[in-house]
Amino acid sequence: MKKVLAFDIDQTLNIAKTPINDEIADLLKKCLHHFEICPISGQKFDQFLVQIVNRLKDPTPEELSHLHLFVAQGTQYYKFNTEKNDWELVYDYPLTDEQVAKISETIEKCARELGFWEENRLQPGDEIIENRLSQVTFSALGQKASTKDKYQWDPDCKKREKIVAKCKEYAPEFDYEIGGTTSINAITPGMNKKFGMTHLLTELNVTKEDILYFGDMTQPGGNDYPVVEMGIKTITVRSHEDTAYALKGILGVI
């Protein structure tokens, strides 16, 4: 029996950039009574709250103590403090201002050169390049674009593969990972999900054999692939429906 269930978020627990639905919320809440639950994603802490935590129905402090938020690919880790009844930051490995500027300039330059800079499609107040402290994320249509538009923009990842290839020419000192539906996460080498999962092992005092991981980008170049490379048991899913099906099977044999 595994001790930890770890999850990518977009396309694994939800429709990209939307809160988890009632079924996934109910399944995760049930899993909290049997496992340590560890979402790990390139998203910001606030999005973890909006998309996962706030969707759980009346969670108790004890239940939340078994939910571990590995933010920005696990380069930030938040756990629930039952005494303070609030989330606390355990560690953080931010980029420098100079690194953020170099990455941002490189991605914009490459996207413009390739004709993939979609500034005219942004909604008011949205942005294409976002500083997430320990990574910089390119979201081609911004965060507020419709799910339909995001799915249609780069369904085969070919546009983002071209952007990544050009970014590596201009700024090879950084790593670039494709994630979600329109995103590229730029990080310093090694600050990917392998970094986050390695810290998970230490923080939760578990082994790789104790973990079952769910993700949709498990192919080479995908942001879940570092987990596969670690030798952690991984289930590749294509939607939250796949994840729900697997969780029902797991809960059914407990």
How does residue 17 score in pLDDT terms, banded at 50, 70 and 90? confident
Q: Is it the case that residue 31 has pLDDT exceeding 90? A: yes
How does residue 79 score in pLDDT terms, banded at 50, 70 and 90? very high
Q: For residue 16, what pLDDT is reported?
A: 85
Beta strands in the chain (DSSP E): 4-7, 36-39, 68-71, 76-81, 86-92, 129-131, 136-139, 175-179, 183-187, 211-215, 233-236
Please give the CATH architecture assigned to the domain spanning 97-187: 2-Layer Sandwich (3.30)
Domain with CATH 3.40.50.1000 in the chain: 4-93+191-252
What's the chain's length in residues? 254
**AA identity, residue 33:** H
Q: Is it the case that residue 101 has pLDDT exceeding 90? A: yes
* Confidence (pTM): 0.85
Q: For residue 1, what pLDDT is reported?
A: 86
User: To the nearest whole percent, how much of the chain has pLDDT over 70?
Assistant: 100
4-93+191-252 is classed CATH 1.20.140.10: no
Domain with CATH 3.30.1240.20 in the chain: 97-187
Least Cα distance to 179 among 240, 138, 118 occurs for: 138
Least Cα distance to 154 among 104, 114, 192 occurs for: 114
The per-residue pLDDT for range 105-123, each reduced to its tens digit, is: 999 999 999 999 999 999 9
Least Cα distance to 136 among 225, 65, 72, 66 occurs for: 72
Q: Is it the case that residue 11 has pLDDT exceeding 90? A: yes
With H, G, I as helix, E, B as strand and everything else as coil, classify residue 186. Answer: strand
With H, G, I as helix, E, B as strand and everything else as coil, classify residue 174. Answer: coil
